[in-house]
Chains A and B, each alone.
Chain A
Amino acid sequence: MKNRALLIVVAAAVLAAAALTLLYRGNRFFGPGPEATRRVIAIFKTVDYAGTPFWANVRDGVLSAARDFNIEVSLRGPEQESDIAGQIEIVHQAMEEKPDAIVLAAADFNLLVPLAREVRRRHIPLVCIDSFINSDDADVRIGTDSYEGGQKLGAALVRYVKAGELVAVMSYVKGSSTAIDRESGARDFLKNRVRLLDTLYSQSDVEQAYKQAVTLIRLTPHLRGIIALNDPTARGVGRALNESGKAAEIALIGFDNSIEVVNFVERGIIRDTVVQKPFNIGYLGIEMARQLIDGKKPPRFINTGSVDINRENMYQPENQKLLFPVAPAAPVTPATGAHP
């Protein structure tokens, strides 16, 4: 009897030691365990990163956070920013894959609402970044306060345009929440100060913006200001203005940035551009998704802010980093299983 008791004690001790070994060693040999299995699908408005550096920057933020928080991220989106049906299809597909969370930049303010409701019904956490939807189905919204950004556009313009002069507003995709909010911010700021023309939509296409601007400049001799609500539009308008030689008369204010826009700012063709913080939007999108997966309660809205950039302040250290993002450290993409 006593022998058996001794045997049991020894066996229990050995088992406990083995368990301890696994506990300590397991972490090292088998990775951090279940944490690694968090899967997030991030859906952008477009994956044309070369054409829209903004989204390349969002992607960098997403991948950076994916690495920091050990999340497997799949990056998706339509080729064209205006392909709303394409994005709806992508979201639908993503939902069927039952990820741990979805991060979405909605291509349309209204058309994605039913789908977002369905995502919520299936208890998949939803984080909206950059562009939002016309419902409260998103658990968290992260992005630039677009109305505030629009007001900054107006505030920049009135430094160059006298009261009552003629100003055009050039938007991009009609249903996009950011387009709507930027425009209303700018219009609200400007409505009692200048005369505003009807909005034109470039569909985020540089060529189309260029053509619209060429026509606009040719047909509106008294035009003194143009507000371009995103980067492709600003580039198209900038090219037209550059060619027309009227850059000194017509103040162009843009939104977002690319190398071409920066060059236009340096040369005075674009007077000001209001830039966002796309890296932060992407990074926070993943971080909040993780919080939702972990059952925490992040804030409902995070304003990542925007900055008015012009020729005078563009080479200040903090602005340089916004305009010329330094690529993140190399080994990001393969480890996270992303397929941009």
Chain B
Amino acid sequence: MKIRRIQNTLIRAFSALILFALLLLGSLSWYYLRKLLIQNAEVTTMQLVIQLNRIIENYISYMDDIALMAVNNEDVRTFMIYPATDSPQLRRKIGASFEAIRSVRRDIDSVFLLTRDGRAIASTPGALNPAVDIRGRFAELESGLKPGRPSVSSAHVENMVDGRYPWVISLVRDMRPSPGAKSFGLIQVDLNYDIIADLCRNIQLGQSGYVFILARTGDIVYHPRQQLIYGNLESEHIAEILSMSDGNLNAVVGGRAILYTAVGSRDTGWEVVAVSYLDELLGASREAEYYFCLLSLLALVAAIGGGIFISRNLSRPIESLRRSMQAVESGNFDIDITVNANNEIYQLARDCDIAVKKVRDLIEQSRSEQELKRKLELRALQGQINPHFLYNTLDSIIWMIELGENERAIDMTSSLATFFRLGINRGSETISIRTEIEYVRTYLTIQKQRYKDKLSYEIAFSPELYDHQILKLLIQPLVENAIYHGIKNMEGLGFIRINGEREDDTVVIRISDNGIGMPPAQLQALAAGQIEPRQGSGVGVRNVQERIRLSFGEQYGLEFESTPGAGTSVTMRIPVLRGEAT
């Protein structure tokens, strides 16, 4: 299994969560911001266009005022209706009044009067252009005119005055003697085209947006890039604009998305059209995008930082606990497991600490038990070379030799040799019951030589036990005990009976004698191990009892029964140790 660090998991989760939230928030606000910006732009542009239209209409209505004034001028009417009144004086008078109008307003380029019969007066000084056919011009102008209503032209070049070719916008009104009658003449007021051009030019729509004016005929009245339009280097969606009513139109020109805002005017018959570039309108959303990116970055940093912070708080105690446990794994139990935390991890660490201490105690206990066992065993071994026993035996041998009882001396000596060989043999803790019995038998053989007819014995084991294992030197000390405390001081023949049998999983070995027995107090002291043998091998009952209990537990051990004057019986219970012989 792949081990994942808590820190990385947390940082990943934090980042994902925050990024998701930001993305959602960002796209939503971006969408609404865009919508809002476009709406705002549409509204303000529309207001701008309406305002521009109004200004232009003001100019047009001012031109119409002038035309009306001229139409109703007595001199003008006289000049138009009665050709006979035509005189240089009248012409000068009319020309002067036109000139007066023109001179106070620099936006008016010129005022003309044309009659059906081909006469004309101009406000502008200079001769009329001889190339212009007045009758033809009159017919041309009249054809586009509604009776009694002004007509506004598109932008055009005025060539009425010789040598002048200004760009103008013309307003024409006719003059009739009475409604329904044919018009006698026309008044034409020319507005300086630059006025309109400047008005439009001065409107700034973003970085590169602009305003242009379209006549209903599709002619361009004003366009900042007129030359390019005429040269087909640029184009506008003129047909679409003309076909829609006042409002907005989205289009693409030259690869850029644009917004057309068009408002028509009834007075002029023109459409004022504003062109805004969407990318410029959305400049603020670009800024918002920038701040959003910045915010995302900061949030990401916060996510990573927060992840690191929280996970450190979380994983540092775990890490410290882990280190402690690793130390324990490598065998060092002598540590205190404490972590700097105030949550479950602290509890976990405390439990671990308790467990480790318990293990440490157990190990300590087991080690001291082992030590004790070994000590006891060693003492049992040492008991075998009890010098008194050896001296006595050797004394007995010397006596036998001196008495010439060589046969017995030989038996005694070989028994002694066998006794020591079996007692000191091998390092193993256990031996087979067969060997232990032989050992006991050798011991009794030696003792019988000493006590002669005063000691007799019987050893009876069920044969199935022979190959079972038994701790070394368990039976011999008890036999020794029987001899020294039971038989040695008794009158008559002493008898020791040693038998062993199996009861379920327990080996029961009983050593009983018919010696002097013990009073209950002494028996108790013996059972409690308070009586140390001063003679014999000196190993004693206590040693046997402790070794059995250390090896096999409290349920095993020795039981004593004694009747003063009648004998003592020791029952040993040990578990069946099968075939573990070495």
Contacts and interface: CB of A to CB of B under 8 A. Distances in A.
B304 A21 contact: no
Interface in B151-172: 154, 156-157, 159, 162-163, 165, 167
A218 B162 CA distance: 29
A262 B166 CA distance: 13
A64 B231 contact: no
Given A259-B165, A317-B156, A64 B308 contact: no
A323 interface: yes
Contacts of A322: 230
Interface stretch (B27-35, B294-302, B487-495, B545-553): B294-302
A262 B227 contact: no
Contact of B163 (A24, A263, A328, A330): A263
Interface stretch (A78-86, A167-175, A278-286): A278-286
A266 B230 contact: no
Contacts of A110: none
Given A259-B165, A324-B167, A326-B227, A315 B156 contact: yes
Interface string A317-335: 1101111111011100000
Interface string A1-29: 01001100110010011001100110000
A234 B9 CA distance: 88
B265 interface: no
B231 A10 contact: no
B300 A13 contact: yes
A52 interface: no
Contacts of B84: none
Nearest to B198: A330
Contact of B293 (A20, A267, A317, A325): A20
A326 to B, nearest CB: 6
A307 B21 CA distance: 64
B226 A326 contact: yes
Contacts of B293: 17, 20
B222 to A, nearest CB: 9
A60 interface: yes
A61 B165 contact: no
Interface string B122-145: 000000011110000000000000
B227 A61 contact: yes
B233 A280 contact: yes
Contacts of A25: 290
B454 interface: no
A326 B157 CA distance: 10
Given A283-B231, A304-B231, A266 B159 contact: yes
B519 interface: no
Given A13-B300, A320-B157, A262 B231 contact: no
A51 interface: no
Given A277-B231, A324-B165, A326-B227, A21 B290 contact: yes
B129 A266 contact: yes
Contacts of B228: 64, 279-280, 283
A326 B167 contact: yes
B298 A17 contact: yes
B233 A284 contact: yes
B198 to A, nearest CB: 9
A24 B286 contact: yes
Interface size on B, as a range, is 35 or more
B231 A280 contact: yes
Contacts of B159: 266, 315
A6 B156 CA distance: 73
B201 interface: yes
Contacts of A326: 167, 193, 197, 226-227
Given A263-B163, A324-B165, A330-B201, A279 B129 contact: no
A99 interface: no
B226 A283 contact: no
Contacts of B131: 263, 266-268, 311
A262 B129 CA distance: 12
A6 B304 CA distance: 8
B129 A280 contact: no
Interface in A290-337: 304, 311, 315, 317-318, 320-326, 328-330
Interface in B177-232: 193, 197, 201, 219, 224-228, 230-231
A134 to B, nearest CB: 28
A24 B290 CA distance: 7
A262 B230 contact: no
Interface string A24-36: 1100000000000
A60 B301 CA distance: 55
Nearest to B312: A2
B305 interface: yes
Contacts of B298: 13, 17
B22 to A, nearest CB: 14
B287 interface: yes
A321 B227 contact: yes
B201 A329 contact: yes
B231 A24 contact: no
A315 B294 CA distance: 60
A272 to B, nearest CB: 15
B290 A315 contact: no
A280 B224 CA distance: 15
A321 B230 contact: yes
Interface in A97-146: none
Nearest to B293: A20
Given A13-B301, A283-B233, A20 B227 contact: no
A318 to B, nearest CB: 6
B305 A10 contact: yes
Contacts of A16: 297
A20 B230 contact: no
Contact of A6 (B201, B233, B308): B308
Given A6-B305, A283-B233, A321-B227, A262 B165 contact: yes
Interface string A233-267: 00000000000000000000000000100110011
Contacts of B225: 64
Given A259-B165, A267-B131, A330-B201, A323 B157 contact: yes
B308 A321 contact: no
Nearest to A328: B227
A6 B303 CA distance: 11
A317 B227 contact: no
A263 B131 CA distance: 9
A290 to B, nearest CB: 14
B144 to A, nearest CB: 14
Contacts of B226: 321, 326
Contacts of B227: 60-61, 64, 279-280, 283, 321, 325-326, 328
10 contacts: A2-B312, A9-B301, A259-B163, A266-B129, A279-B227, A283-B227, A304-B231, A315-B156, A317-B219, A321-B226
Given A315-B156, A321-B230, A326-B167, 17 more contacts: A5-B308, A9-B305, A13-B298, A16-B297, A17-B293, A259-B163, A266-B129, A268-B131, A283-B233, A318-B230, A321-B226, A321-B227, A323-B157, A324-B167, A326-B193, A326-B226, A326-B227
Interface of B: 129-132, 154, 156-157, 159, 162-163, 165, 167, 193, 197, 201, 219, 224-228, 230-231, 233, 286-287, 290, 293-294, 297-298, 300-301, 304-305, 308, 312
